[in-house]
Amino acid sequence: MVDMSTDSGTASSPAPKHVPVMLQRCVDALAPAISAPGAVVVDATLGLGGHSEALLTQFPEVRLVAVDRDPAALKLSAERLAPFGDRATLVHAVYDEIPEVLADLGIPKVQGILFDLGVSSMQLDEAERGFAYAQDAPLDMRMDQTRGLSAAEVLNTYSHGDLARILKVYGEERFAGKIASVIVRERAKEPFSNSARLVELVRNAIPAATRRTGGNPAKRTFQALRIEVNGELEVLDRAIPGALDSLAVGGRIVVMSYQSLEDRLVKQYFAAGATNTAPPGLPVIPEEHQPWLKLLTRGAELATEGEIEENRRAAPVRLRVAERIRDRSTRG
């Protein structure tokens, strides 16, 4: 974990402005928890810094701690958030490291946490990162390009069984076995390096009738590879409990998920915290069995037409909000 202050190491060109997904709804959801002086809010997925900038602007006394695993995103956001001085602390870390980041900063609890999961706008828009199947580019897909296996290395080294597993589980791909077979066959002729070849192979592996609906047939394969390369679900499985433990009583957490696997995990953790765990039939519920989370959204909320018009990437978003209503120190 490396702390990147907002007044050093800035980018050579201005950070591009973009409309963050469901911006005002996220700000409004956090507002009751972070309006008081001394409040700390964590942006767990800094990206280009749009949500962070809005939080710092609309709440002049809030302190921001923002993390991102992508050094390029941190560099751009450092310039964008530089006007806020020491109110903003940017840290190179993955969001499952939030408890350690806060401990290093001497912050015991925070009042707000925001997760905007998935790939950032910058990562999608920069072809050389290899996230977008619509452009031919090197098959990288690492959110932090300084570590880990690239998507090309996964394609070229994983067994047929492992490839089929990640395509089925992470991509929810019906034809996972068939696509894995094609990948193994074709990599023996020439290792994979660029996205266009993979897109074409996936398209040809899927029956024509299936290709007519559901958008680009490579979408699910690219999602699966990205999740595998970045360990996204494993990280999220650690990150949500860690974030919830970092919330002060009265603090709020907002999570935006872009696919069902992420949303299912978030839903499970939120539901567990909002559930009475006492044996049935007790006349009085002991405190340690009472819910410690309150769900502030009924199920997962979707973007409005207006929010999708502002940013088309809001279309698949599922948003959940919860509030911590008591301490868990007495739970059995």
Give the model confidence (pLDDT) of 104-117 as tens digits.
Answer: 999 999 999 999 99
Q: Which residues are annotated as a binding site?
A: 49-51, 68, 95, 116, 123
In a domain, residue 288? The reply is yes
What is the pTM (predicted TM-score) of this model?
Answer: 0.87
243 or 313: which leads in pLDDT: 243
The reply to whether 30 and 173 lie within a common domain is no
Please enumerate, by residue number, every residue annotated as part of a binding site for S-adenosyl-L-methionine: 49-51, 68, 95, 116, 123
The amino acid occupying position 326 is: R
Checking if the pLDDT of 179 tops 50, the result is yes
Residue 29 lies in a domain: yes
Q: Are residues 118 and 241 in the same domain?
A: yes
Tell me: do 172 and 117 sit in the same domain.
no
Give the DSSP letter of residue 275: S
Which residue, 199, 230, 261, sits at the end of a domain?
A: 230
Q: Could you write out the DSSP letters of every residue in 133-183?
A: TTS--BS---SSTTSS--HHHHHHHS-HHHHHHHHHHHH--TTHHHHHHHH
Structure tokens at 75: 């560099």
Same domain membership, residue 67 and residue 155? no
Which of 185, 208, 230 is the C-terminal boundary of a domain?
230
Domain count, the chain: 2
d(CA 21, CA 34): 20
Range of the domain at 206: 127-230
Amino acid sitting at position 93: A
Give the residue, 274 or 276, on which the prediction is more confident. Answer: 274
Give the mean pLDDT of the chain: 89
Instruction: Report if residue 101 sits inside a domain.
Output: yes
pLDDT band at 281 (very low <50, low <70, confident <90, very high): confident
The answer on 225 and 148 residing in a single domain is yes
Within this chain, do residues 177 and 30 fall inside the same structural domain, yes or no?
no
Does the structure show a pLDDT above 70 at 13? no
Do residues 212 and 245 both lie within one domain?
Answer: no
